[in-house]
């Protein structure tokens, strides 16, 4: 199977945005936050002590995970972060995120396979597939497997608050 060409204008825009944000944001845990790495599960769990909804992030790129963690924490959400789908699925038996942000292109288990397993495990909350790949076939496949949305990475970072508001309200 041929790897998709990720050198698209949207991908270059996202890389530029990631670089700018990584220079601008160096998040340190606040007074009411806990930051812990759980190596055996491939997860970083960063949570607020308030009763805000928790968002799970699944992405093999640590830079994107960290940027999303920082943005979500700033917006007041709890965060569970995973570098692969296996870790998320294992954790779903113990935690109940309000929403899952799931990268499409990952090694070992891609986002579509992870989405299938999430739904097989009876997770009924919103799952938003995000990617640098604008592909209508993948979009349709994700929607058929139960994705609530298919979002390009630059759009996710640009509109994160509005996207979460749309999928986490009533």
**Among the CATH numbers 3.30.470.30, 3.90.1150.10, 3.40.50.410, 3.40.50.2300, which is that of 33-168?**
3.40.50.2300
* pLDDT value at residue 17: 53
- pLDDT of 169: 81
- What are 20's two structure tokens? 């700018």
Q: What pLDDT shows up at residue 51?
A: 72
Q: For the chain, 170 residues long, give each residue's pLDDT as a single digit of tens.
A: 344 444 444 445 555 555 455 444 444 444 444 443 333 345 555 544 457 899 999 999 999 999 999 999 999 999 999 999 999 999 999 999 999 999 999 999 999 999 999 999 999 999 999 999 999 999 999 999 999 999 999 999 999 999 999 999 85
Q: Which residues contact 17 (CB under 8 A, 6 or more apart)?
A: 154, 157, 158
Nearest to 25 by CA among 66, 76, 80: 66
Q: Do residues 104 and 134 lie in contact, with contact meaning Cβ atoms separated by under 8 Å?
A: no
CB 115 within 8 A of CB 145: yes
- pTM, two decimals, is 0.75
Number of helices (H) and strands (E), helices first, in the chain?
A: 7, 7
> In degrees, to the nearest 5, what angle opens at C-alpha 31 toward C-alphas 27 and 34?
70
- Rounded to a whole number of angstroms, the CA Rg of the chain reads 15
What residue spans define the domains of the chain?
Answer: 33-168
């Amino acid at each position: 199977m041929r790897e998709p060409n990720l050198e698209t204008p949207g991908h270059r825009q996202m890389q530029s945005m990631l670089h700018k944000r990584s220079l601008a944001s160096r998040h340190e845990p606040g007074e009411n936050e806990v930051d812990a790495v759980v190596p055996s599960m491939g997860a970083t769990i960063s949570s607020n002590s308030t009763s805000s909804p928790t968002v799970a992030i699944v992405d093999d790129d640590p830079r994107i995970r960290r940027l999303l963690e920082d943005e979500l924490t700033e917006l007041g959400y709890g965060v569970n972060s995973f570098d692969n789908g296996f870790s998320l699925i294992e954790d779903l038996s113990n935690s109940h995120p309000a929403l899952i942000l799931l990268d499409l292109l990952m090694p070992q288990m891609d986002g579509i396979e992870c989405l299938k397993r999430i739904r097989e495990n009876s997770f009924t909350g919103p799952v938003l597939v995000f990617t640098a790949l604008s592909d209508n076939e993948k979009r349709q496949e994700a929607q058929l497997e139960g994705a609530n949305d298919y979002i390009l990475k630059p759009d996710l970072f640009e509109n994160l608050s509005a996207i979460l508001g749309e999928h986490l309200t009533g």
